[in-house]
Chains A and B, each alone.
Chain A
Amino acid sequence: MRFLVTMAEPRHYDRWAGLSDDDRAAAFAAFEKYAAAVAGRGEVLAGEGLAHPGEARTVGPGSGESRAVTDGPYAETAEQIGGFFLVELPDLEAAVTTSRLLPEAFSIEVRPVVPG
């Protein structure tokens, strides 16, 4: 099964810029542990860090030229998504268990990808 694992935390980008080197190194180590744990039972298919939501554009509903384009993410919330993984694992439980290894500050959404 494939899962999309997204990582979010309040004011993630400001907090990240202000982290000490040690805290940053701890986050890097957590990513490594996570990747190793996933690799033990499945595979990391993709993983990327996202740019600041201020750099996002949201294209509204409609058709063609009538779709409005606005600056920013579609859901303006306190939580900012910092990055994501696409992983292949046996089941939802494994996806949730491995996600516990990701950096402590994140809330993590684990969502199955519809197979097909």
Chain B
Amino acid sequence: MTELEDVWRDEWGRLLALLVAQFRRLDLAEDGLGDAFAAAADAWRRDGVPDNPAAWLLTSARRRIFDRLRSEAIARRKLPLLQVDMALTEEARTVMADAGESVVDERLRLVLLCAHPSLAPEHAAALTLRLVLGVSTADIARLFLVPTPTMAARLTRARKALSGERFAVPSGAELEARVATVAEIGYLAFTSGYAPGSGVDLVRADLAGEAIRLVRVLRSVLPAGFAGAADLDALLALMLLQHARRDARVSDGRLVLLPDQDRSLWRHDEIAEALALLRPLLVSGSTPYLLQALIAAEHAVAATAADTDWARITGWYAELEALTGSPVVRLNRAVAVAEADGPHAGLRLLEDLDLPGHRLPAARAELLVRAGRTEEARTSYRLAIERCGNDAERAHLEVRARSLGTE
């Protein structure tokens, strides 16, 4: 039933935030709303979709939560409550969406609660997907490559960890810090969609799509004039530019690298949206998200790989490395410098670099091949293949190594 799925997608976070404000418990709100959606699947099929689906769900969820509360009172189960402003609880209690009243949007509180500093980022990311976007536990488990019971237990621990916290929107620097955490969570979820550490599933574009949705929700619920809004635009642009390449990244189960991708498969509407987001940011200060987005944009606007403006890209990488000091950035910068100034220049930047995983030896091997140092390239490929945990990426490395022939 696609209508129910649409309502789920559009209303889950809003209704959940409202129920959390009223009942002050994440578990109650989530179970009640989950049960209401389950009941809707039967009832709407039988009786048709109600005029106001959100109101139907809200009423049904509240009924279920009242029953749970009575049961808990009888069994004398007392659980800690979130700290919620009394006026907000009162307001949430009196929302009667069936009278045509619009549901107040408390999703910002919910998003910020999930980004609580007491949670590890990957747990916060899972909880955010569950609570804010309504992604099922089984889907989240699949997206993060863990068994469903493991993810369920992880979510339960995360909910418990938050049970006595404040359901509130902080102000000033604290708000900015919390929003930055949400952005990191979104980007973490996004990159785990594109760079899974292991397994055969090379691209899990649906996780990346959900992460983009999270950033869109965050942008829509932040107060006007929020200081960090520009950086969220940069992050959204960065995600859109990378996501736009999803159909060209894999061919017959094999990874296709950027220069070899069929650019007609890129989603040019998404690229256009990203470029429009970036345009006003060119005059603002550089941030890591903005610089990465500008690099991605440079690739996106090149008609062919040969048209890529590597000089500009190396400039942005240098700025990004100065800003972050990250060895991963150095690695990417070296690859770009090799394109602009030749493989030797790139190899020089890799000389004193130390990085776990397969990416460093793989990049070194590529540059060594181009520099004509085949024997050293072979050794580097061997190391990269040894360290690579992703089936598709390893297959790609093996093809590259074999193309060098045997010694």
Contacts and interface: CB of A to CB of B under 8 A. Distances in A.
B399 interface: no
Contact of A49 (B62, B63, B75): B75
B66 A85 contact: no
Interface residues of B, number: 14
A83 B63 CA distance: 16
A49 B70 CA distance: 6
Interface SS of chain B:
helix
Contacts, number: 47
A48 B93 contact: no
Contacts of A46: 75
B74 A85 contact: yes
A82 B76 contact: no
Nearest to A52: B67
B73 A27 contact: yes
A27 B70 contact: yes
Interface SS of chain A:
mixed
A1 interface: no
Contacts of A16: 66-67, 70
Interface residues of A, number: 22
A89 interface: no
B75 A48 contact: yes
B84 interface: no
A10 B149 CA distance: 41
A49 B76 contact: no
B69 interface: yes
B71 A49 contact: yes
Interface in A55-79: none
The 6 closest A-B pairs by CB, nearest first: A49-B71, A28-B73, A47-B74, A31-B73, A17-B63, A83-B74
Interface of B: 62-63, 66-76, 93
6 contacts: A16-B70, A24-B70, A46-B75, A47-B75, A48-B74, A51-B67
